[in-house]
Amino acid sequence: MTLRLRTSHYRFVYAFASGHELVGTMIGDSYGGQSDYVFNVRSLRAIALTPQGNLMMSFDEVFGQFTRTTAETILSGSHSQKESFFSINSRNDEACIYDAATEQWVTSGWLPGRWTIEELPLLPSMMSSVPACSKRLASVWSQRAMIA
């Protein structure tokens, strides 16, 4: 059995009960036969919006994993130049946005029904965002899987 690493592009939205929204895109990896579980997320472009739809802050760094068919999500994101961040941890029923400029929690609360994620087409220009180490690891894992 060969494990083939698959890279995909995703759009997500989390709507807080307060009316704030976290909206963004990111790239993540999965294995061909297990494409529900996505890991090694990267290339984040996300924004936090006020209840009126105005931009509050943006985020460009991410770490985490998620599943596509259930609301099992562990993501944390930040801005590379600022200390503001967001965190979603479905295991602890937590989701929050922290604004470092005002030193305040903007909003919090995890409600699985308010999380949506969808796969988008992966453009050829996005393939350069696949780290070389991920390509090497996929190759090594594939070789080991074929030996076993």
Domain assignment present for residue 146? The answer is no
Amino acid letter, 24 = G
At 100-120, the pLDDT tens digits run 999 999 999 999 999 999 999
**Beta 34-49 vs 5-15: how paired, if at all?**
unpaired
**Measuring CA to CA, which residue among 40, 31, 45, 30 is closest to residue 63?**
40
Contacts 24+ apart (CB under 8 A), 80-89: 82/57, 84/57, 84/59, 85/59, 86/22, 86/46, 86/48, 86/59, 88/14, 88/22, 88/64, 88/115
The residue among 3 and 6 whose pLDDT is bigger is 6
| Residue 46 reports pLDDT greater than 90 | yes
| Res 61: pLDDT | 97
Per-residue model confidence (pLDDT) at position 32: 78
- Strands 85-89, 94-99: parallel, antiparallel or unpaired by DSSP? antiparallel
Res. 36: pLDDT tops 50: yes
- Domain assignment present for residue 127? The answer is no
* Residue 126 forms part of a structural domain: no
Does 132 fall in a domain?
no
Q: Which domain holds residue 29?
A: 5-120
Give residue 35's pLDDT band: very low, low, confident or very high (50, 70, 90): confident
Of 136, 142, 120, which Cα lies nearest the Cα of 43? 120
- 78-100 confidence digits (pLDDT tens): 998 989 999 999 999 999 999 99
